Amino acid sequence: MALRRRCDGAVEVRYRPGAVRPLAVLGALRWLDDHDWDRCVLAAAGGGPLTTVLPRREAMEHVADLADDARHRRTGDFRALRRPWGAPVADASLGRIQDAWQASRGLDRCALMAAVREASCGRYLQIIPRDGASRLEIGAVGDGYSLYGRGWRSMAVGGRFEDMPDYAYARWAAQGYREAHRAGAPTVEDIVAVVRLPGEAPLRLTYRRVIMPLGDVLLGATLGQTVCSVRDLEAGDEPGDVLQ
């Protein structure tokens, strides 16, 4: 990780995702906190450069996230298979959502939301992308989610998408929303993920995720979700469900 001041007054932070060390990130945070600057250019190397310009608060949050990533790399826990939007599928729930999207062309939110609520059994999210989707804010949470508790669900609204009990899983899941925002088109993915909650056995989730851009909002839905304990769920247990 390297830092330098630019001639335009901004601070530039260069790093390599997947290789940056926690101590290097913490050192960068101390330097950023001790110096006067108002814009930060974040440049990620490897796999094609990705450059983002952020104001001070969002930049500090982003660099802090890098420290958490460096401490909690769990790439083996998460897998996603992208499906073409509109391709024929034997999935009645997805078909209802696609029909509603096509009928509304993303403009009639009432009809589309009704289809999403029914098809997802209430497991849906409204995400508000801020600052080019560098920050994803939770605008609404469907009442079909229960594992984190109803109290947490109400507290989550207005907060960051990544601020969930399993931070690493949330960070990984957030990538799909950012990709849908950049593409400006609906996406469908088949997901297999291991979620680790404090004091609980790891849970293995299998589900289909749909994300649809609706103006200034991203609408996400979980379809056909199954949940089981990685340690073999005992008969009669109710693991619930989690935010996708």
Between β-strands 135-141 and 50-55, what pairing exists: parallel, antiparallel or unpaired?
unpaired
- Tokens 């094609």 sit on residue: 48
Which pLDDT value is given to residue 81? 92
Average pLDDT of each block of 10 consecutive residues along the chain (244 residues)?
87 78 78 87 65 81 72 75 82 91 78 92 94 90 75 81 84 91 92 85 91 93 88 46 49
Domain ranges of the chain: 2-71, 78-229
Asked if the 78-229 domain carries CATH number 2.40.50, the reply is no
Which pLDDT value is given to residue 18? 64
In this structure, what token pair is assigned to residue 164?
Answer: 């969930």
Model pTM above 0.95: no
Which pLDDT value is given to residue 180? 93
In this structure, what token pair is assigned to residue 12?
Answer: 């530039």
Which pLDDT value is given to residue 209? 95
Q: Nearest to residue 130, comparing CAs of 163, 178, 184?
A: 178
